[in-house]
Amino acid sequence: MQYPEPIAKLIDSYMKLPGIGAKSATRMAFYTIDMPADDVTDFAKALISAKRDLHYCSICGNITENDPCVICADKTRDQSKLIVVEQPKDVMSLEKMREYHGLYHVLHGVLSPIEGKGPEDLNITSLVKRLQDNEAIQEVILATNATPEGEATAMYISRLLKPAGLKTTRLAHGLAVGSDIEYADEMTLFKAIEGRTEI
């Protein structure tokens, strides 16, 4: 038996989300149908608003409503330190720690030859330009995930920045190899930043 077209389309839409298979998508679709109409409308509005009203900061690449983002616009932050992360969600994870008060730069991915992602596909050119234009930055902290791709990206950026004479550090391995920054607790992140080493 085939599902009615609206349900089938809703299931297909849910299956486009990462980690959602046919069974989970079907369960979510039927749950959505059983939700009160106002909740469904609010959910749909939230999806549309997130897509329409959010964009990337022209300075750091973080996700924001306003340009520049609140972090780049905050002149009270430590302008001498810049953490380089893979994704905007990593900025949120590090901010939750409330121990780091410097700047960020979001790469929007990592080097991955298997997926066809090279340096030109990442936010690296703007990082180099930003460092050339901002003499206040004295230390670049590479906070890519402890995965083979994350390590390769960190090494690539460190080699790129070496001639500039900038202090380039890497998060300490308080993070488990293969783990993502977004899932680490605040203490693990704090220890990782505290124990960073130059590369």
CATH of residue 194's domain is 3.40.1360.10
Averaged pLDDT score across all residues of the chain: 92
Same domain, yes or no: 86 and 45: no
pLDDT band at 64 (very low <50, low <70, confident <90, very high): very high
Comparing CA positions, the residue from 190, 138, 130 lying closest to residue 168 is 138
Residues 80-117 pLDDT 10s? 999 999 999 999 999 998 899 999 999 999 999 899 99
Quick one: angle between helices 186-194 and 88-97, nearest 10? 90
Same domain, yes or no: 113 and 166: yes
pLDDT band at 190 (very low <50, low <70, confident <90, very high): confident
* Tokens at 109, concatenated: 């991915």
Q: Is residue 33 part of a domain?
A: yes
Q: Whole-angstrom Cα distance, residue 199 to residue 2?
A: 57
Same domain, yes or no: 92 and 181: yes
pLDDT band at 174 (very low <50, low <70, confident <90, very high): low
Q: Which residue has the higher pLDDT, 4 or 199?
A: 4
At residue 100, the pLDDT reads 93
Q: What is the pLDDT averaged over residues 143-152?
A: 91
Residues in Cβ contact with 39 at an 8 Å cutoff, skipping those fewer than 6 apart: none
Same domain, yes or no: 93 and 22: no
Residues 109-143 pLDDT 10s? 999 989 999 999 999 999 999 999 999 999 999 99
Domain extent, residue 18, equals: 5-53
Q: Is residue 31 part of a domain?
A: yes
Same domain, yes or no: 82 and 49: no
Q: Is residue 68 part of a domain?
A: no
pLDDT band at 188 (very low <50, low <70, confident <90, very high): confident
Question: Cis bond leading into 6, ω under 30°?
Answer: no
Contact yes or no for 198/140 (Cβ under 8 A): no
Q: Is residue 116 part of a domain?
A: yes
Same domain, yes or no: 41 and 10: yes
Same domain, yes or no: 178 and 144: yes
Count CB-CB contacts under 10 A for residue 63: 17
Angle at 158 between CA 152 and CA 162, to 5 degrees: 150
Contact yes or no for 119/128 (Cβ under 8 A): no
pLDDT band at 184 (very low <50, low <70, confident <90, very high): confident
Q: Is residue 131 part of a domain?
A: yes
Q: Whole-angstrom Cα distance, residue 134 to residue 80?
A: 9
Residues 7-19 pLDDT 10s? 999 999 999 999 9
Same domain, yes or no: 48 and 90: no
Q: Is residue 70 part of a domain?
A: no
Q: Is residue 143 part of a domain?
A: yes
CATH of residue 43's domain is 1.10.8.420
Count CB-CB contacts under 10 A for residue 110: 22
Number of domains within the chain? 2
Same domain, yes or no: 141 and 174: yes
Q: Whole-angstrom Cα distance, residue 52 to residue 66?
A: 13
